[in-house]
Amino acid sequence: MSTSRFKAVIFDLDGVITDTAHYHYLAWKRMAEQQGVYFDHAFNEQLKGIDRMGSLELILAAAGRLYTLEEKLALADSKNLHYQELITGMTAADLLPGAVAALDAVRAAGLKIGLASVSKNAFTVLDRLGIRDKFDYVVDAALIARGKPDPEIFLKAASELGVAPADCLGVEDAVAGVAAIKAAGMFALGVGLVSVLTQADLVIAGLDGFDLAVLQQVPVRLQTPAA
């Protein structure tokens, strides 16, 4: 029986377990430039942690024209088809350092494991990486009404895992994702830069620095009440 302060760990996918960011960048860049929008890595940073339609809206806002819903859906589908083509060659070699070891450590500690990714291609990516069976529950992003920073996706994962949000550890690399974890009432482990993920309770550079023993000792950073 686990003596951990946590009963479940809920991971994000992109930027935490694997890095599909480059593929998303290429797919968004092609779509944006077809609409006459200049798209570079700085623009791409604005999309981090945002779902597909939210990202599309940010790009089209710079296009200087109005789009019908049908046009938006067609552009989103076009981007997604290109992305799916790009990830066809993904394998276990695309797992980020420490990802499998972190998942195995969580399992060995007797904790449940969830995945809360806004990507509608999460199941495909997990299958290509060969790690789908390591998760007790994977949230289907297609069934989530509100994207991050709304806590819905993390609350859904906790509910399906049968664990109270306060007993969950959320792992994210995006500002919007960390905000979603904290809004859900969970402990937030940021993966990336301390200077960026300022809301996280603890930040590590990558999952190769994941240590449950250390996490047991880190106090929770309480949210500042809204004015």
Residues 8-30 have a mean pLDDT of 93
Which of the residue ranges 31-35, 46-50, 147-151, 185-189 would you say has the lowest mean pLDDT?
46-50
Q: At residue 224, does pLDDT exceed 80?
A: no
Q: Which residue has the higher pLDDT, 115 or 227?
A: 115
Closest CA to 37 of 13, 9, 58, 15: 58
What per-residue confidence (pLDDT) applies to 154? 98
163-181 pLDDT, tens per residue? Answer: 999 999 999 999 999 999 9
For 99-133, how does the pLDDT look when each residue is reduced to its tens digit (9 = 90+)? 999 999 999 999 999 999 988 889 999 999 999 99
Amino acid in position 117 = S
CA dist 51 → 12, 124, 223 (Å): 13, 17, 24
182 annotated as ligand-binding:
no
Query: pLDDT tens across 62-92, in order?
Result: 998 999 999 999 999 999 999 999 998 899 9
Q: How far is CA 181 from CA 99, 109, 112, in A?
A: 20, 22, 17
Answer whether residue 1 shows pLDDT above 50: no
Residue 59 among known ligand-binding residues: no
pLDDT beyond 90 at 46: no
Query: What pLDDT score was predicted for residue 222?
Result: 62
Helices within 61-148 (DSSP H only): 69-86, 99-108, 122-129
144 is in an annotated binding site: no
**Over the stretch 6-18, which tens digit does the pLDDT of each residue have?**
999 999 999 999 9
Residues 6+ apart with CB under 8 A from 22: none
Q: Is 12 annotated as a binding-site member?
A: yes
Query: Does 44 count as an annotated binding residue?
Result: no
Q: Annotation-wise, does 117 bind a ligand? A: yes
Is 133 annotated in a binding site? The answer is: no
**pLDDT tens per residue, range 179-220:** 999 999 999 999 999 999 999 999 999 999 999 999 988 887
> What are the Cα distances from residue 124, in Å, to 2, 91, 129?
31, 11, 9
Would you state the pLDDT for residue 223? 57
Model pLDDT, residue 221: 72
Q: How confident is the model at residue 3 (pLDDT cuts 50, 70, 90)?
A: low
Q: Which domains does the chain have, with CATH numbers?
A: 8-18+95-215 (3.40.50.1000), 21-89 (1.10.150.240)
Instruction: Examine the residue annotation and report whether 14 is marked as an active-site residue of this protein.
Output: yes
User: Tokens 């895992």 appear where?
Assistant: 161
Which of 14, 19, 77, 104 is flagged as catalytic? 14
Tell the burial category of 68 from Cβ atoms under 10 Å away from its Cβ (0-12, 13-18, 19+).
exposed
Choice among 12, 136, 167, 208 that is catalytic: 12
State both tokens at 45.
């940073």
